[in-house]
Amino acid sequence: MNETAMNGTSDREAICPCAPVAAREESRPSWHEECGIFGIWSRTVPVTDACYLGLFALQHRGQESAGIAVTDGIHVDIEKGMGLMTEAFKPRLPGIRGHCAIGHVRYSTVGGSVFANVQPFLAAFSGGFISLAHNGSLTNAQKVRRRLESEGCVFQSTSDSEAILNLIAISSAPTVEDKILSSLEQIEGAYSLIIMTGEGLIGVRDPHAFRPLCLGRLEDGYVLASETCALDAVNATFVRDVLPGEMVVVDQNGVHSRFLQKKAKLSSCVFEYIYFARPDSVIDGTSVWQARYLMGRRLAREYPVSADVVVPVPDTGIAAAIGFSAESGVPWVEGLIKNRYVGRTFILPDQTKRRATVEMKLNPVRANLEGKRVVMIDDSIVRGTTSARLVALLRRAGATEVHMCVSSPPITHPCYYGIDTSIRKELIAAVSTEREIGLKIGTDGLHYLSLQGLLESVGDAKGERMCTSCFHGIYPTDVSECLVEAPEAEGGGEVPKGQVSPAPLSFKSEA
């Protein structure tokens, strides 16, 4: 093991699981996070540089922190920091000339933006070392963590990813692969993992495949990444998506797979297609751009409105606006210009920061709006604050009418599988009808895409392979541990274990 990796400065990861515990946050657990992960194995490609490029292509998945770990099979070097890629690696990149590297970009919820939570995590144990990057959120994290603490494990972070690391480190299974599989049998929820060991690179997707993970091929190596756009960034050829419950192992012998014993059923997060993924990515065989385009066409059929222009909210509303325009015949124009140097407001961890960022992020084009009846296309309404400010911006720029079409159904329930869609009382559709929401945000008309319209747009008309829990509260796994709000306060009674969260506070579907 590299001496510097074991005893580095404060911007290095202490890799012993028994190191002093970091101060814990006094808020509720902040374990829900959406991240980007990347891994590469190659004997000829400069893996550190390739990992940096791959993560850069995934920057949209998290802007709070970034990290890269590199190994030559014996030594490990790791660098990570807060902020964007250019900020996190301002001092240096890992210096080892290795053959394997993994990386991680992250954002957190309120209270979770601390250095101790920056990944990849790195640990030494009797079988060698492991470094881990995780995208997702465990639904039984607190239970697993309490058990591990009672058995003597200590934690340096508040991330549930560290629980996975500890499970692997203390496993009595004979090989690293067996340790990983036996550990994952003990956890529930969403996880796409990329793990680096002294022997090779390992990618794992949970049995529901909530979060994306794909495999790419280089001339003499392989790449694992959250999205195919990261494969393109390093000139890797797409091979396939990692299957639900599959563990893909890359080493000097090539690639082989093993599977978890749990029953596998694809429940890919539909929000990847609505918002999170880059439009040039393909996830589980479906083009993200094409899905958004079809959402827009379906919106135009569901909400025929007299208008002069269609205006997308950039960037995720653009493809849907093009589809709406193609179906309706109403021309689409750039009515809002995005400041490319401002991050994504939905994944900023604090509501005050979100409010301040909206005005800096988007500015109206008066020449395209003044005197016009506008249909504004956006991907979703979560809290409603951003939508209200955008409607006001369009009106101040001279729009005579502002209709809003949303390329997703109303979000009435939180996501417990790795997307910060807030606690339920902050979700505007959980407490208001569609008509009430339209009045609150100041539109002349509001229409959400129907759930069936969404499913058909992503190629899942029967609803058999997508997770849409945030629209109806029926979850594919047990989420009872995640319900931090008392059900009785929601007016929903007790929660049937493992499936349904409380009904919306006062939501009534509009006929």
Residues designated as active site:
35
In 8-111, which residue ranges form alpha helices assigned H by DSSP?
47-57, 85-88
What distances in angstroms separate CA 142 from CA 34, 114, 158, one per listed residue?
A: 19, 19, 10
Distance between the two ends of the chain, CA-based, in angstroms?
Answer: 64
CA dist., res. 318 & res. 296, Å (int): 9
Question: b/e for 332-367, b at 16 or more Cβ within 10 A?
Answer: bbbbbeeeeeebbbbbbbeeeebeebbeebbebeee
In 235-287, which residue ranges form alpha helices assigned H by DSSP?
271
Tokens of 196: 């680096």
Pairing of strands 373-378, 309-312: parallel
Determine which helix (DSSP H) or strand (DSSP E) holds 101, and give its type and residue range. strand 100-106
Phi, psi of 488 (to 5 degrees): -65, -30
In 185-305, which residue ranges form alpha helices assigned H by DSSP?
228-233, 271, 288-302
Is 485 buried (19+), middle (13-18) or exposed (0-12) by CB count in 10 A? middle
Tokens of 106: 């992250």
* Contact between 88 and 82 (Cβ < 8 Å): yes
